[in-house]
Amino acid sequence: MTTTESLEKLHLTDREYLHLEHAAAALRWDQETYLPPEGVAERAEQLALLEGIAHERLITGDTGSLLESLGSVSANPRGDESLDPLERDFLRIMRRRYDRAVKLPADFVRDAARAEGLSQAAWAQARRNDDFASFVPHLKTMIGFSRKKAEYWGFGKETLYDGLLDIYEPGMGAQEIGSLFTSLRERLVSLLKKIQLCALPNTSFLKQDFPVAGQSAFMQNLLDYIGFNRGRGRLDTSAHPFTTTLGSDDIRITTRYFQDNPLSGIFSVIHEAGHAFYEMGFPAELRATCLAEGASMAMHESQSRFWENIIGRSLTFWEGFFPSLQNMFPQQLGQIKTEAFYRAVNEVKPSLIRVDADEVSYSLHIILRFELEKQLIAGELEPEKLPDIWRKYTREYLSLESETDKDGVLQDIHWSTGSFGYFPSYALGNLYGLQFSQKLKSDIPDLENLISRGNFGPLHTWLADTVYRWGCRLEPAELLKKVTGDRIKVNPFLDYIEGKYRKLYSI
């Protein structure tokens, strides 16, 4: 078989695997948005079947031998140096997927997918009822599957969590993340204590009744304003905001609405749109291949956190778009000045809810979850005791008391789906995003003026040309180095946070 024929066969396997994964994603999206409650059990079986077929498609046949014939082995995943660089990057990702998949028994893959479907539904019900005890059996199951997966991949008892982190942030383990988070926590807690001695901005005008119908209509205007392509994506509602890719031209985002808290919907939509921009931004040569993914989940979060906070919570953004919000809610906001709204959306007031947290305290929510899931995977924390330990950490990190599990340990979907190791991505994304932002502002000096006029074209072009174009061809550290010339650091983010909020609170 020629090199060209071998590559064509691998690309066919990749496309079929991707189609199966997108079909499974469609079922999961439906489960989170429209599936009637009694459909959960069969949906879990459907997902188990699809995941099993996808797994078998990847590992059966001659995938392994084709990779080896092209020089792609675990020690040299990019294969023969004579190949086109794009094909070598394709081989690296295919080798990574194959090496992982081939170590997982087919029954394990199907059982894990089935358990995930049931666990996710159980979490949603437990959250509605504020009933953590009913979720514990499912949580234990998902912890067990996560541990076993890392074991299959060759990680020992002491490094199981590193194996799970590697799913989301290749090349970065718990020790390095812990070191970064220690530095983050010290300065953020110090800043938070200083802010808590200051007078808070007026936010009373945000505590009125904002009808959901009006919020929903405004979100469509918001998406159009920032350049979301509704020909390739759509917005729906779910219990927990998320973004999922059902195809190269089918990117779904969701949000949730609260009549007395319009900011929750606004900033979750901007956040998820940031994810969608990344997914929509991959160049033609990567689309419909395994290379059309973010370099890591932290890189993905760098885009969503960048849009949500650096863009969405800036004065320049609302100078251009606050009139649209006022027009939608004239009675509530018609007499409010843009500067007052800007100060209100940047209020620093620690919240029990992660997705509604301000910029200063948000990373503390992530560090809390990082510490707890490390203990869960290591077997150092029994799931039944999780609510009490959660409350303890919430007091220590945020000086808050969680009265219900709904607003505490049950607020996030991640552990119900077995996504242990995902949470650090959010705080790491803050760091990546700020370093990208510094380079962006250096390359486009009049960026703030453009944003104040609602001109996001140059911003989208810059992101496409510097970040999106690579997909997952580069490891996250490589991508950061290529764009900024530097490695991941905490100081740029902390300097930005301290500078912004010292000014806002006259510290």
Each residue's pLDDT tens digit, 252-286: 999 999 999 999 999 999 999 999 999 999 999 99
Q: For 35-55, what is each residue's pLDDT tens digit?
A: 999 999 999 999 999 999 999
Beta strands 233-237 and 243-247, pairing class = unpaired
Nearest to 373 by CA among 391, 362, 394, 389: 389
Q: How far apart are CA 266 and CA 222, in angstroms?
A: 8
- Span 162-168, average pLDDT: 96
Q: Cα(58)–Cα(396) distance, rounded to whole angstroms?
A: 46
**Environment class of 188 (CB within 10 Å of its CB; exposed 0-12, middle 13-18, buried 19+):** buried
Structure confidence at residue 60 as a pLDDT band (50, 70, 90): confident
With pLDDT > 70 as the criterion, what percentage of the chain qualifies? 100
Query: Residue 356: what pLDDT?
Result: 84
Q: Is the dihedral of CA 47, 148, 296, 32 positive or negative?
A: positive
> What pLDDT shows up at residue 297?
97
Q: Which residues in 382-402 are b (16+ Cβ under 10 Å) and which e?
A: ebeebbebbbebbeebbebeb
Query: What percent of the chain shows pLDDT beyond 90?
Result: 97
Please tell me the distance from the alpha carbon of residue 256 to that of residue 238, in angstroms, as a whole number.
Answer: 6
Residues 6 or more apart from 323 whose CB is under 8 A from it?
none
pLDDT at 62: 92
pLDDT given for residue 59 in this prediction:
92
The confidence score (pLDDT) of residue 11 equals 97
Strands (E), 81-157: none
Question: By the 8 A CB rule, do 359 and 497 touch?
Answer: yes
Residue 165: pLDDT above 90? yes
The band of 207, judged by pLDDT with boundaries at 50, 70 and 90, is: very high
272 is catalytic: yes
Q: What mean pLDDT is reported for the chain?
A: 96
> Does residue 402 surpass a pLDDT of 90?
no
Answer whether residue 458 shows pLDDT above 90. yes
Q: Is the pLDDT of residue 105 over 90?
A: yes
Q: How confident is the model at residue 24 (pLDDT cuts 50, 70, 90)?
A: very high
d(CA 91, CA 68): 10
For residues 149-167, average pLDDT: 96
How high is the pLDDT of residue 355? 85
Across the range 403-432, mean pLDDT stands at: 96
Helices 106-129, 3-33: crossing angle, 10 deg rounding: 20
Q: Which residue in the list 272, 279, 308, 359 is annotated as catalytic?
A: 272
CA–CA distance from 417 to each of 122, 178, 333, 412 (Å)? Answer: 11, 23, 39, 10
Q: How confident is the model at residue 132 (pLDDT cuts 50, 70, 90)?
A: very high
Q: Is the pTM of this model over 0.85?
A: yes
Average pLDDT over residues 120-146: 96
Output the pLDDT for position 239.
85
Mean pLDDT of 74-90: 95
Residue found by looking up tokens 């703030």 in the block:
448
CA distance 75 to 66: 16
Q: Rounded to whole angstroms, how far apart are CA atoms 97 and 91?
A: 10
Q: Give which of 419, 435, 432, 430 is closest to 367, Cα–Cα.
A: 430
Distance CA 155, CA 161 (A): 9
Q: What pLDDT sits at residue 71?
A: 96
In the prediction, which pLDDT does 240 show?
A: 85
Tens of pLDDT, residues 292-342: 999 999 999 999 999 999 999 999 999 999 999 999 999 999 999 999 999
For residues 469-481, give the mean pLDDT.
97
pLDDT surpasses 90 at 1: no
The pLDDT assigned to 115 comes to 96
What was the pLDDT predicted at 474? 97
Structural tokens at position 477:
């550290």
Cβ atoms of 434 and 426 within 8 Å: the answer is no
Encoded tokens for 394: 């919430």
- Two tokens, residue 174: 């718990």
Q: What is the band of 216 on the pLDDT scale with cuts at 50, 70, 90?
A: very high
